[in-house]
Structure 1
């Protein structure tokens, strides 16, 4: 038994040398935010402890120090102090951390492990990736981390985090890479690294190391029911982080590639209806007018299978691929269209700022055409609906009864523009498409709902 335990101990990694070599380049970041009129919440966590209990599951960033346990309150009269982590990437004082660590801060102090406290200025931020770049004032010959390649990471390999959870400076925790390329609801352009490394409030912005002592990620978010660590943590891949850093350092802002499409996941039923042998790719639900995708000839109903020679397994794989492509560069895509595979070249545009959502479609209450096999009634588009949704063709669903349409998720007010890969321009087109539907086979339905297109699967 003793020999077996000894062999197990020898097989586990020894992190002592890694920690000794890299702790000096990891920093604690403390911020002070002066009270401002009209400020309604902390620039850190947007929930207080009571709200933690009321929200059973959510993704959250983690930035709250012991000096401000509730992140301050509305209209507070004393400055708020909070803390997070970061790391030095250049000897002249550039520091990487999370945007939510320094957002809204009036004063930023960086503390090194030799207990020096140095003021830092905010160089720039990128809220889309939750990154911020700081510059230590009068930084000179500072210790730096070694930057690795997150693209070389493999699921199951050991990783280690250094940070300041709950204000406990230079806390070391370790675990393994649980998954790669995770897409979170808060951000589609970052393929997060998932780990089981213990991460808690105060770890935000700290480095994630591999066993070679190279930084391969920035600890950013956790999945939790309690507000603390539950075994699921997420880090920004260092490849993406360094791209953001260089853009902020060199030009003060970040630009990302943009295709101009709305996409959705291809599930088993959609794969069957589109003639795919297995679910894969990103289904194009809508192509935006004037976008690079429209100019390249991409159409609603196309399924993007490859981008620049890289397979698109999940729809969430595509946005980071496009986002990393330099603006103005031409990219090649393999697309499935009407059962055959074609190649399209697209000149990537610049991702625009998030605009306002389009107007919702008003539901119709007038009597329509009954389609008994599907359990819904439709009617021609009114000029009001055409204008509000920006659609020129289709039929609007006026009523839903029990049947395949209800099961598929179709709702009154939806505009059907395509049924079983056939374009629907009128009630007559819809009637003919319904009459030709195959029995006991899944068919795709393209609907426009509240200004956004989506594909649904219906089984007549």
Structure 2
């Protein structure tokens, strides 16, 4: 009996030793996955006759698809020096001579952009090219090409450039594929591509951390994609792509206390960028609805003092004389609740809803005045363009 037990123990030990050697040197014999760096190869039978199935650990195909469409943007702006107040004074000229006016200094900047059309249209951030006298884009193939500003929208921080036609009489540039925001969800893998700190084209990976971020004080109109993919200075205007290489956002801003990435970045969704881009290409500007009111957030204290059932809505703090709101009978102290059948949650929502209306349309509004609800119709005006001071 003891001899049989000894033989059994030796057999088990030898079997375990063989299993260890096989699993270490030839794991595929056991049907185990093989880890080869960034991907996982599993020897499973496929419809093509037993070829290994590659997992999704690598996003090289998505990057390879998008990279040719990403450009580096270099801008220069001449800073105009103020004219000397005594330059025309004869006494000043007698003692100091004919002094030529200083040309000033040249300010340079860098950022990123995304080619969205074979004809050379490029999407980027407005702040990347704001005030630039000269714009140059660097392609992935090494070409440096001049570009012109087609138009910009400071309220969404978007701008459209076009590569100068002399570079290609028959333009055929590598345009990126535009994605669909309705397929994007929190947790999706995304890649950010740009030129951080001017080091060169760089790809970083993260996920969609949140959608619809607003009330950040970055732009007038905010509906950001939040991501933890590293975004740094120089990435502005670059691409946020999905795992298939499709453009889903334009990288715009980061939350940072040091100037570097802390894992909280914001991108303008492609749905917004596409709408702005199409308007700029067609008309050179962006047209939004406007009624001419100043609004205020309804706090819990205000709701209690006004006897309101909730804090939803936008408190009308002022009405511009002669504006569409004035013509529609809106008065300070009214609370705007509904625009064209859509509820107003807060002032930002009201701004977005009115801006989305087509100027000239007669739109129904629902408001509260003291404790009475009432309806009115307002003919939407054109939102005045935001003026930007040039340095």
TM range (shorter): 0.7 to 0.9
Where do 1:162-241 residues align within 5 Å?
Answer: 162-175=193-206, 176-241=208-273
Deviation at 1:165, TM superposition (A): 0.4
Q: Secondary structure of the equivalent of 2:365?
A: strand
Q: Which whole-Å CA distance do the structure 2 matches of 1:209 and 1:289 have between them? A: 46
Please name the residue that 1:262 is paired with.
Answer: 294
Distance 1:213 1:298, change over 3 A: farther
How many residue pairs were aligned?
Answer: 318
Q: Are 1:142 and 2:186 counterparts?
A: no
Please name the residue that 1:103 is paired with.
Answer: 130
Please name the residue that 1:23 is paired with.
Answer: 67
Q: Which whole-Å CA distance do the structure 1 matches of 2:183 and 2:315 have between them? A: 28
Distance 1:277 1:289, change over 3 A: same
Q: After superposition, give the CA deviation of every residue in 1:205-254 in whole Å (9 maximum; x if it has no partner).
A: 11222334332221112222222222322222322222222222122222
Q: Secondary structure of the equivalent of 1:187?
A: coil
Please name the residue that 1:130 is paired with.
Answer: 157
Deviation at 1:182, TM superposition (A): 0.7
Distance 1:279 1:159, change over 3 A: farther
Deviation at 1:310, TM superposition (A): 2.9
Deviation at 1:152, TM superposition (A): 5.6
Give the TM-score taking structure 2 as reference length.
0.72
Where do 1:337-416 residues align within 5 Å?
Answer: 337-353=369-385
Q: Secondary structure of the equivalent of 2:214?
A: strand
Q: After superposition, give the CA deviation of every residue in 1:359-410 in whole Å (9 maximum; x if it has no partner).
A: xxxxxxxxxxxxxxxxxxxxxxxxxxxxxxxxxxxxxxxxxxxxxxxxxxxx
Deviation at 1:349, TM superposition (A): 0.6
Please name the residue that 2:18 is paired with.
Answer: none
Q: 2:77 aligns with which of 25, 30, 33?
A: 33
2:62–2:245 contact (8 Å) kept in structure 1 = yes
Deviation at 1:112, TM superposition (A): 1.5
Structure 1 residues not aligned, in runs of 5+: 40-74, 356-460
Distance 1:333 1:83, change over 3 A: same
Q: Secondary structure of the equivalent of 1:184?
A: coil
1:258–1:350 contact (8 Å) kept in structure 2 = yes
Give the TM-score taking structure 1 as reference length.
0.62
Q: Which whole-Å CA distance do the structure 2 matches of 1:21 and 1:106 have between them? A: 32
1:31–1:106 contact (8 Å) kept in structure 2 = yes
2:211–2:223 contact (8 Å) kept in structure 1 = no
Deviation at 1:12, TM superposition (A): 7.4
